[in-house]
Amino acid sequence: MNFFKKLFTKEKKESLDLGLKKSNESFFNKISKAVIGKSKVDDQVLDDLEEILISSDVGVKTTLKIIDKIENRVAKDKFLNSSELDLILKEEIIKIICDSENDNFLSLSKEKPHVILVVGVNGVGKTTSIGKMANYYKSIGLKVMVGAADTFRAAAIDQLQVWSDRVGVELVKQEMGSDPASVAFDTLESAINKNIDVVLIDTAGRLHNKTNLMNELSKIKRVLQKKNINAPHEVLLVIDGSTGQNAFEQAKQFTNVTEITSLAVTKLDGTAKGGVVLGISDQFNIPIKFIGIGEGIEDLQIFDKKEFVDSFFKKS
Ligand SMILES: Nc1nc2c(ncn2[C@@H]2O[C@H](COP(=O)(O)OP(=O)(O)OP(=O)(O)O)[C@@H](O)[C@H]2O)c(=O)[nH]1
Ligand SMILES: [Mg+2]
């Protein structure tokens, strides 16, 4: 969908650069140290590079793939200049990530409403991301409705109410402690009646080892299907990028127990662990749709692999 691409304006790019500043700086400091005094990429540089990628949370599998590619290039070009290492790395990483099957456009189903069930462990940024997504979808002219199916805490409903008011979209809610599946059902019913385009359903922070919470998620799905057999059209897993390797773990655990169709990686600002996005994008066969780069309403971007790698590798 080309018009999403067009939304990647200069302004967006600047905030992406800013959001990834810590990851970018930390990565470059390490790379610079590794090549100091070296005229060519030798075994030592490659070893250091491997360590740098792993310590930048790119993940072991993806790191080994990248090192393998660089080794091949070094074998072909024995006098590969070490000052060019970052350029070569960028090239190879873009190739690896873009070869992966993930796609990053915002595929919305043809039928209305497109229902997105938002899941993830405690505190990763589900509710905040829903607020930002509601704002984004509204800004491109879609009618949005939000459902407060995190009924565990009154504060969770209030938080979503604040976001809905701020964005100017309708919220469907019930009392605290009510059945989350019933809230989801009400939301979908109301959205159908009001000809809504996108429905975003918030859920409680659930732990992968809590069977009851996973059962709750299944129940929400089942109940939604009573209204529309294709709902939810999307189950979006939110993961906290600042937790580094734990983010991989969250993605793994969730994909093991439920069908996840898209990912949002949050909190990439203020962390040097942004490399986690490169690894996740390579290793999971699930598109990363959004990345969170701040707490503000505009601080959610559609994930664009190329732009991301570019910001990650930008020389300041
Ligand atoms: N810096 C930064 N903070 C974020 C981002 N996304 C969310 N947050 C913050 O993370 C905290 C938790 O966000 P919530 O949206 O409440 O997380 P949640 O997953 O809904 O949490 P529970 O409902 O308790 O499971 C809040 O303080 C958010 O402002 C982000 O991209 N960057
Ligand atoms: Mg929440």
Which residue puts its alpha carbon closest to atom 6 of ligand 1? 125
Atom of ligand 1 nearest to the CA of 121: 25
Average pLDDT over residues 106-123: 91
Checking if the pLDDT of 2 tops 50, the result is no
Q: Please give all residues whose CB falls under 5 A of ion ligand 2, grouped by chain where several chains appear.
A: 126-127
Residue 228 — φ and ψ, nearest 5°?
Answer: -150, 120
Q: What is the pLDDT of residue 81?
A: 78
| CA–CA distance, 16 with 20 (Å, rounded to integer) | 6
Arithmetic mean of pLDDT, 69-92 = 83
- DSSP assignment letter at 174: -
For residue 206, what pLDDT is reported? 59
Mutation pick for ligand 1 pocket among 121, 128, 132, 200 (CB with most ligand atoms within 8 Å): 128
Atom of ligand 1 at shortest range from CA of 270: 1
Distance 124 CA to ligand 1 centre (A): 5
pLDDT of amino acid 3: 46
Residue 234 β-bridge partners: 116
Q: Is 141 helix (H, G, I), strand (E, B) or coil?
A: coil
In angstroms, the Cα distances linking 69 to 41, 63, 65, 74, 236 are: 13, 10, 6, 9, 32
User: Looking at ligand 1, which residue's alpha carbon is closest to its atom 7?
Assistant: 125
CA of 150 from ligand 2 middle (Å) equals 7
pLDDT digits (tens, 9 = 90+) for 160-216: 999 999 999 999 999 999 999 999 999 999 999 999 999 999 999 855 456 777 888
List all residues 6 or more positions away from 109 whose beta carbon is below 8 Å from its beta carbon: 230, 233
For residues 40 and 106, which has the higher predicted lDDT (pLDDT)? 40
For ligand 2, the distance from its centroid to the CA atom of residue 123, given in whole angstroms, is: 7
Mean pLDDT of 84-106: 75
- Ligand 1 atom nearest to 206, measured from its CA: 25
Q: How far apart are CA 119 and CA 127, in angstroms?
A: 10
Measured in Å, residue 159 CA sits from the centre of ligand 1 at 11
Ligand 1 residue neighbourhood (C-beta within 6 Å): 120, 122-128, 150, 156, 205, 266-267, 269-270, 292-295, 299
**What is the pTM assigned to this prediction?**
0.92
How far apart, in whole angstroms, are the C-alpha atoms of residue 194 and residue 26?
49
Q: What is the pLDDT, as a whole number, of residue 6?
A: 46
